[in-house]
Amino acid sequence: MTEERDDIVVLTDEEGTEHQFEVVDFFNVEEKEYAILLPLEEFDEDDEEGEALIFRVEDDEDGNQILVEIEDDDEWERAAAEWEERLADEEFEEDED
């Protein structure tokens, strides 16, 4: 029996290959919601392994949440800065313990 996990999503690349990702965080920036995904498998040597990916979370016409690639550089920079700040805050809290 396969165990289903709510924190795992499968995305399909341009070649039709499926990749599994763990959803590690959700956060908001300027009234938009973003998700941080970490790959569960290794990619090709040309890709950076283990690098977190940022997607915008939107609702489709049926009201289902979908992940959308961020194409605007400024939007991506704002989301990445927020994620980095959240990571720094977590590291600071861990150092206090």
This prediction's pTM? 0.76
Over the stretch 7-60, which tens digit does the pLDDT of each residue have? 899 999 889 999 999 999 999 999 999 999 999 876 554 555 568 899 999 999
In the chain, where are the structural domains located? Answer: 8-96
Residues 54/39, Cβ–Cβ less than 8 Å:
no
Alpha helix locations (H) across the chain?
73-96
Lowest mean pLDDT among 1-15, 55-69, 72-86: 1-15
- If DSSP codes are grouped into helix, strand and coil, which group holds residue 24? strand
Q: pLDDT category, 6, cuts 50, 70, 90?
A: confident
